[in-house]
Structure 1
Amino acid sequence: MSDDRQRGRETVETTSAARTAVVTGGSKGIGREIVLRLARAGVLVAVHYGRDDAAARETVDAVRAEGGSAFAVRADLSENGSADALATAVADGLAARTGSSGLDILVNNAGIGCRADITDITPEDLDRVFAVNVKAPVFVTQWLLPLLRDGGRIVNISSVANRIAHPHVLGYAMSKGALEAFSRSLAAQLGARGITVNTVAPGLIETDFHRARLRAHPEDAVEAAAMTVFGRLGQPGDVADAVAFLASEQARWITGERLETTGGAYL
C-alpha cells in the first residue's frame, strides 16, 4: 500500500503519464532533483524515502506544484525485507494511479557514507554500507524486475570514489565498486528484453550531505571547485540531467556503461 494511502489524508489522483519511475532516496539531494527532472518530462514518479516524512511530502508537493505526478513510498533499505515491502508499495501506488503496476524506469540512488580508513573501519561499518549501497539495490531490482517493462531503464548511482583512491572512505568506495560490477552483469542479462542498465558516477556534489562540512571548512569547498575544469562545485541538477538522458529513448543503444559527472575533476 502506498504511503499516501496509508496516511489517508488525500485522495489518490489518477494520471495519464506515459511512463513511470521509482527513485530510491528520492526525497533529498541528488535523488530529489532526479525526481523533479523526470516528473518535468511527464513521468509519474514513486519517491522512495527512508525516514523523513516531511522531506518526502515536500518533494511530492514540489512535483505537483510544477504540474507533475508523484507519490511517496517509505522503506528502510537497511532492514531485511525492505525490498519486498518497497516493491509491494510501488505496485499498489502505480496501479491506483494508472490502472497498471508497469514500471519503466528504476533509479537506484539511495546510499550512505562510511567515513573510515583501514585503521578505523569496523565490521558494523562495512555491514551497514554494503547493506544499503549494494544489497538494497540488488534486491530492490530483483523485486521490481517483474514490474519493469521490456525496453525499460535502470540507472545506478555510483561515485568517482570507485575510480580515484579515497582511503578515508574505504568502505563507501568498495561498496560503489560492487554496485558497478552489479550494473555490468545486469546489463548483460537484461539486454534480451531491451532493458538498459547504466551507472552514473558523481564527484563532489553540493547537497545537504556535504554542505555542513563545506561550510565548516570553506577551504575544502574552494579546493573541490578548483579540481573541476569549470571551477565550481557540482550541483544536483548536473547529475539529474545525466540520469534523465540515460532514462530516455535517446539512450537506447547505451548499456553497461559508466557516465562520470564530475565536471572534469581528476582528469
Structure 2
Amino acid sequence: MKAVTEAPERGGRGGGGSKEGHREHRARVFLLTGAYGLALMAYLAIEPTQVWLLLLLALLAALGTDGIVRAHPHSAFRRLDDTTLHLFLPVMYALGSAIFLESVVGSYWSVPAALAMAIPFAGVVHSEYVSVDQADEGYHTARVLLNMVTYLTAFLFFATIYREDVELNLLVRTVAVGVVAMLLAVDVLREEALEASRTLLYSLVVGALVSQAAWGTHFLPLESNSAAVFLLLAFYLVTGLLHQYLGERLDVRTATEFGGIASLGMAAVVAAHRLV
C-alpha cells in the first residue's frame, strides 16, 4: 500500500478534475467543517464534559476525510485501509483542539474558539485531498500547510499534557508524549516513506525519541508552557531530519540548519524561563 498515489498526468490546482468536481469537493469540505465546528462547540459548551462528543469528533474527522480523499479523481484507493495515512492528522487535530480548548476556554468563548479552530480543520481536509496527487500544482503548498498544522497540533497536545492542573505521573506523561509524537509523525513522513508499514515504523522511532526528551524534561527546571515548547522543538528536529533522510536530502548543511533552528528555539525557552 502506498502512502500517496501519484497520477500519471499533472492535475490542476486544488486536486484536478472538472469544475463540477471542484464544486462538489468544496461542498463536502464545507459540510464536514460545519459538522466538526458544531460538534466542537457542543463539546466545549456542555457541562459536565461529554466524552462521547470527543469520540464523535474523531469519528467525524476520520469518516469525513476518508470520503473526501477517496473522491479525488486521481486516487487509486480501493481497499478499506488505503486512506489510513491520510486520516491521522485530521483525527489528531480534532482531538487535540478539543482537549486543549476544553482546558483553557469556557462560557461564551467556546463559540468563537470553535469557529477559529474550524478554519485550520478545513485547510487540513482540503490539503489531504490535494496531497493525494504529487503532480498537482497545489501539492507543495498543501504539504507546507499540513506540516504547519502537524506542529500546531503537537503543541496543543504537549501544552495540555504539561498543564500544571493536569496530574499525571512521569511514566504516563512520557508515554502520552511518545504516542502523540508517533501518531503525528505519520503525516510528515508518509510523503517520503511511501509504504504504510515503513511510515509507521519510522513514526514509532520518532515517538521513542521524543518520549526520551519528555523524560528529560522531568529533570529540567521548565514551566509547563516551556516544557511544551521544548518538546515541540524536539519533535520538529527529529521529524525534520528523518524526513530529509528518507528523501535522501540529508547532508551536513541540512542537519546544521535544523540543529541551528532547534538550538535557537531552545535558547529562547531558556531565556524566557529565566526572565519569568
Is the pair's TM-score, using the shorter chain for normalization, greater than 0.5? no
Of Structure 1 and Structure 2, the greater strand share is in: 1
Higher relative contact order (CA 8 A, sep 6+): 2
Taking structure 1 as the reference length, what is the TM-score of the superposition? Answer: 0.33
Larger Rg over CA atoms: 2
Normalization by structure 2: what TM-score? 0.33
